[in-house]
Chains A and B, each alone.
Chain A
Amino acid sequence: MKARSSNRMTQVLAYGISILLFALYIFPFLLIIINSFKTRLEVVASPVSLPKSIDFSNYIEAFQTMNYGRTLINSLAITVVSVLVILIASSMLAYLLVRWDWKINKIIFMLMVASMIIPFQSLMIPFVTIYGNLNLLNSQGMLIYFYLGFGISMATFMFHGFIKSVPVDLEEAAIIDGAGKFKVFYQVVLPVLKPITATIAILDVLWIWNDFLLPSLVLVDDNMRTLPLSTFYFFGKYTSNYSVAMAALVLVLLPILLFYFIMQKKIIAGVVDGAVK
């Protein structure tokens, strides 16, 4: 009896602490939402009180000033295309590196693994020098090209580990049936890669969607900007009008939170797998 009641006590205590911490983690988001519905004067008077009325005018202003529709489409297009390109290129490269036992393949693989420790900050100055001189900056297509370049080593590394454990037997059966090399890869190997593909896709979506430094160096035109970029420039202009700024933040948070609610389990599994590898 005594053990049970002390158990219940710890349960209640654990619940209490969890709820308190949960509130602490969520509190910044709640404050942003509350203040996004207030007028500027209400925010100045008290940033912690509830809004007097629900008013969407801040949202309309933020939507227009940030060019939200355009920016959202930019972010979506760049993220989706980059991730697809990374997945296709790196799965093919990893297949080559695992299935053909050539010296050059070993060198490429070693080079890729080693390059994973290079921080972007160590590359950005020569990077801007080269591509600026070639006049290849300020293009969304080039930004996707750069994401492929920066994302390929990790993706190839993860595909490599996975393909190594896939038996060759299936492929050999297809080869006997007369399938060409690309067809074998496309019809036999690619379908087996699904689980690891999901993990890589999630890691890369989160990375590219949230990335700031690379697009800030590559994209110059206003109408090419991605969400993190336009948030940054928006805040440069709107430092004093907090209520519109808060509405802008809510708009920027919405897509990623929606993605999280839909894909919750996959995202959590993906980031854990990604870290352990």
Chain B
Amino acid sequence: MYSEKGFLNKFKVFALFGGIPVFVFLSVVIVPFLLGIYMTITNSTGTDISTEFVGLQNYIGAFKDQRFLDSILLTFQYTFWSLIITNVVAFLLALLVTSGLKAQNFFRMGFFTPNLIGGVILGFIWQFVFTRILVHIGTSMHIGIFSHSWLADPSHSLWALIIVSVWQNSGYMMLLYIAGLTGIPKSLTEAASLDGANYWRTLKSIKIPMMVASFTVSIFLTLQRSFMVYDTNLSLTKGGPYRSTEMISMHVYNDAFLYQNYGIGQAKAIILFLIVAVIAITQVLLMKRKEVEV
């Protein structure tokens, strides 16, 4: 630790190392955040910041908006399924590519590739797959479920988004599970197999319990990523057909920038923040408790 004598010297050090970063951080993150809260309790629009207080009117308006409630429900549904499927698939992939296959690094690389590509581009790739490839296969081979485009059918479009999300994120979560699996001491699994435990027994009684930390990290990462999804949503379905896939992020975006409902739109954005904050705090608390136990 260093110490400086006198205010001027302190100020010099602070300005040298922290002046610009702190200013940028405050102006880009903190000021918009505070102003955002202020906007929800005043009669502000996108171009004017008003000083006329309206209380909680915008929040009440947000909760009265059935489409907003629908999009929350839809986002929870989407998050639930993509969370479970992504993590199950990722864990199985991790087991597969740590089982000692010669080409396992090659496989790992392939499974991770979708994760490097931006959501907008992934969405367009799958738009082609769903509207052209699968429909072509479905009609020429008479597979009923593929004979019409999933993206045009409100009862299937959500599943199209879930599939893309699993494809995009499972490779990433696989890497985290690989890190967890290779972190298990060899002596433990060897002792178990000497005691006659078979593969499933070792998996159930040693590997899975030893990987609680990996599971927590990946589950929360998938939770956050799915909950905030926007890019894939936009390029794959644009929220359609008939708003059947309009997730929260897109709903907030459209409300503010398309329909110019800035006050209510920002109130929805703050509600979104609160949900994300609850998720993040739960994660931190869970991780802290785990650390004590181990």
Contact = CB atoms under 8 A, between A and B. Distances in A.
Interface of A, secondary structure class, is helix
A78 interface: no
B125 A249 contact: yes
A84 interface: no
Contacts of A100: 1-4, 13-14
A245 B235 CA distance: 13
A93 B20 CA distance: 9
Interface string A106-124: 0010011001011101111
A276 B217 contact: yes
A121 B252 contact: yes
A111 B115 CA distance: 30
A250 B274 CA distance: 39
Interface stretch (A56-64, A193-201, A205-213): A205-213
B101 A119 contact: no
Contact of B118 (A111, A209, A246, A267): A209
A228 B119 CA distance: 9
A181 B273 contact: no
Nearest to B95: A14
B287 to A, nearest CB: 11
Nearest to B232: A212
B32 A127 contact: yes
B2 A119 contact: no
B18 A92 contact: yes
Given A18-B107, A31-B128, A232-B120, A121 B269 contact: yes
Interface in B161-182: 167, 171-172, 175-176, 179
A125 B120 contact: no
Contact of A22 (B110, B235, B280): B110
Given A25-B111, A89-B21, A267 B116 contact: yes
B184 interface: no
B221 to A, nearest CB: 6
A83 interface: no
Given A31-B133, A228-B121, A112 B25 contact: yes
B28 A264 contact: no
The 3 nearest A-B residue pairs measured at CB: A149-B28, A210-B118, A96-B17
Interface string B118-155: 11110011101100110011000000000000000000
B120 A212 contact: yes
B191 interface: no
B136 A46 contact: yes
A252 interface: yes
Nearest to A184: B2
Contact of B21 (A93, A232, A256, A260): A93
Contacts of A212: 118-120, 230-231, 234
Interface residues of B, number: 90
Most buried by A among B18, B179, B265: B18
Interface of A: 11, 14-15, 17-18, 21-22, 25-26, 28-29, 31-32, 35, 43, 46-48, 89-90, 92-93, 95-97, 99-102, 104-105, 108, 111-112, 115, 117-119, 121-130, 132-133, 145-146, 148-150, 152-153, 156, 168, 181-182, 185, 206, 209-213, 227-228, 231-232, 235, 242, 245-246, 249, 252-253, 256-257, 260, 264, 267-268, 271-272, 275-276
Contacts of A126: 32-33, 35-36, 39, 266
B171 A25 contact: yes
Given A29-B125, A272-B179, A276-B217, A14 B101 contact: yes
Contacts of A129: 35, 39, 44, 46-47, 49, 262
Nearest to A92: B17
A210 B123 CA distance: 13
13 contacts: A18-B97, A47-B133, A100-B2, A100-B13, A122-B269, A122-B272, A124-B253, A125-B39, A129-B39, A132-B46, A145-B24, A182-B16, A275-B172
B277 interface: yes
A265 B47 CA distance: 47
A125 B133 contact: no
A227 B273 CA distance: 29
